[in-house]
């Protein structure tokens, strides 16, 4: 069946910032054949293709003069189960949080700390999504991607993905690989990660001393709901800047002026700084410029109060970057993908 191509489609409902730009063409892929067909048609018509999932890691600053291909494939399955280790696979278009909840309902542990992250299964490896001390790479068992240059399918193992902090081979070669399905190695025995942020404290407040994976997920969902704005109510893309990793010497110079600097020493001698802390110290928390702003509770989250354009949000982000560089000598890198 030939997939429908719509023309001049607003992407407002397809990005969590709620930015109203238009795609020249818009189509959806529910299976591998529809992906291949969309790519072939685009090639024939000499059009670029922009793949999107849930649109929760995008900042759209202009109309997209291309075919926007929305991944809408569905399906999740158990590939192997030895009674302890269970390998599951899901199609790229599966919404991430329902996939996590499905795995927990089966009694499979490993994804609980990654609960309530918006977006799709296919995009999660792009930036090695992470939260509360766990990243995709910690439970990753492989993925299948289509090489858009050669049209061939390729399986990637952990090493081939070259995962880093909010980074992967897919992010570094944007547009080359189209991820079709992803596999995770989960476990029937819980190895709880409770030491990051207020997770353990939240569980203790609830009277839970020996939490199940579902209890950890529930606690993390409740913390996230308090901390982060819900994109259905206030447009945003989660953390807007990565936490910068800088030299120990620079941290000492910052500490001399700001004794409370939030800093985490890394194994290689460098130090990770909390970008949110730097932005808050610089006085940006709650700042608003038209409909673009910095969230009033979370300095790391830029928001769209309704009618902000992507260019306005980007201009605000650049002003914050310049200010942080001037004040602290630290370069902030954007986390969302800019178009």
Catalytically annotated residues: 166, 239, 335
Smallest gap from residue 96 Cβ to ligand FAD (A): 6
User: What are residue 20's phi and psi, to 5 degrees?
Assistant: -95, 85
Residue 19 touching ligand FAD (CB under 6 A):
no
Residue 25: burial class (beta carbons within 10 Å; 0-12, 13-18, 19+): buried
In the list 60, 92, 234, 324, the residue contacting ligand FAD (rule: CB under 6 A) is: 92
Residue 276 touching ligand FAD (CB under 6 A):
no
> Which is closer to ligand FAD, CB of 238 or CB of 244?
238
Smallest gap from residue 129 Cβ to ligand FAD (A): 3
Closest CA relative to residue 114, chosen from 143, 135, 93: 135
Q: What is the residue whose two structure tokens read 């490993």?
A: 110
Residue 10 host element (H or E): strand 6-10
Q: CA of 60: how far to CAs of 77, 83, 199, in Å?
A: 34, 45, 33
Residue 234 touching ligand FAD (CB under 6 A):
no
Smallest gap from residue 56 Cβ to ligand FAD (A): 3
3-state SS class at 123:
coil
3-state SS class at 69:
strand
Cβ-Cβ contacts under 8 Å for 201 (sequence gap 6 or more): none
Give the chain's end-to-end CA distance (angstroms, integer): 31
Smallest gap from residue 167 Cβ to ligand FAD (A): 11
Residue 299 touching ligand FAD (CB under 6 A):
no
Residue 16 touching ligand FAD (CB under 6 A):
yes
Q: Which stretch binds ligand FAD (CB under 6 A): 23-31, 103-111, 228-236, 275-283?
A: 228-236
Residue 216 touching ligand FAD (CB under 6 A):
no
d(CA 242, CA 119): 18
Residues 46-75 that bind ligand FAD (CB under 6 A): 51-58, 71
Residue 275 touching ligand FAD (CB under 6 A):
no
Q: How many CB atoms lie within 10 A of CB 100?
A: 25
Residues 113-172 that bind ligand FAD (CB under 6 A): 117-120, 122-124, 126-127, 129-131
Residue 231 touching ligand FAD (CB under 6 A):
yes
In the list 38, 186, 237, 275, the residue contacting ligand FAD (rule: CB under 6 A) is: 237
- Please give the distance of CA 15 from its chain centroid, rounded to a whole number: 12
Number of amino acids touching ligand FAD (CB under 6 A): 32
If you write DSSP's letter for every residue of 289-304 in order, what string do you get?
A: ETTEEE-SS-TT-EEE
- Residues engaged in binding ligand FAD (CB under 6 A): 16, 51-58, 71, 92, 117-120, 122-124, 126-127, 129-131, 174, 178-179, 228, 231, 236-238, 337
């Amino acid at each position: 069946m030939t997939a429908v191509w719509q023309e001049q489609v607003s992407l407002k409902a397809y990005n969590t910032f709620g930015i109203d730009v238009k795609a020249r063409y818009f189509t959806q892929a529910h299976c591998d054949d529809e992906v291949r067909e969309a790519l072939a048609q685009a090639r024939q018509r000499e059009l670029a293709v922009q793949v999107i999932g849930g649109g929760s890691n995008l900042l759209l600053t202009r109309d997209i003069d291309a075919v926007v291909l929305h991944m809408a494939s569905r399906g999740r399955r158990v590939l192997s189960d030895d009674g302890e280790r269970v390998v599951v696979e899901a199609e790229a278009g599966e919404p991430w949080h329902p996939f996590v909840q499905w795995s927990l309902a089966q009694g499979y542990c490993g994804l609980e700390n990654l609960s309530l992250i918006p977006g799709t299964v296919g995009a999660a490896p792009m930036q090695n999504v992470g939260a509360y001390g766990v990243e995709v790479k910690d439970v990753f068992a492989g993925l299948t991607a289509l090489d858009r240059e050669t049209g061939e399918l390729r399986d990637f193992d952990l090493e081939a993905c070259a995962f880093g902090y909010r980074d992967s081979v897919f992010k570094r070669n944007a547009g080359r690989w189209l991820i079709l399905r992803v596999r995770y190695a989960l476990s029937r025995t819980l190895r709880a990660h409770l030491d990051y942020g207020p997770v353990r404290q939240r569980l203790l407040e609830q009277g839970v001393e020996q939490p199940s994976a579902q209890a950890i997920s529930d606690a993390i969902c409740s913390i996230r709901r308090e901390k982060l704005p819900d994109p259905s109510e206030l447009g945003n893309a989660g953390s807007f800047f990565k936490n910068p990793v800088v030299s120990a010497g620079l941290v000492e110079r910052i500490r001399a002026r700001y004794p409370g600097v939030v800093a985490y020493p890394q194994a290689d001698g460098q130090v990770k700084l909390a970008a949110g802390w730097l932005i808050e110290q610089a006085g940006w928390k709650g700042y608003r410029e038209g409909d673009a702003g910095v969230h009033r509770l979370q300095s790391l989250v830029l928001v769209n109060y309704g009618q902000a354009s992507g260019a306005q949000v980007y201009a605000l982000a650049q002003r914050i970057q310049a200010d942080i560089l001037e004040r602290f000598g630290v370069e902030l890198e954007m986390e969302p993908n800019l178009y």
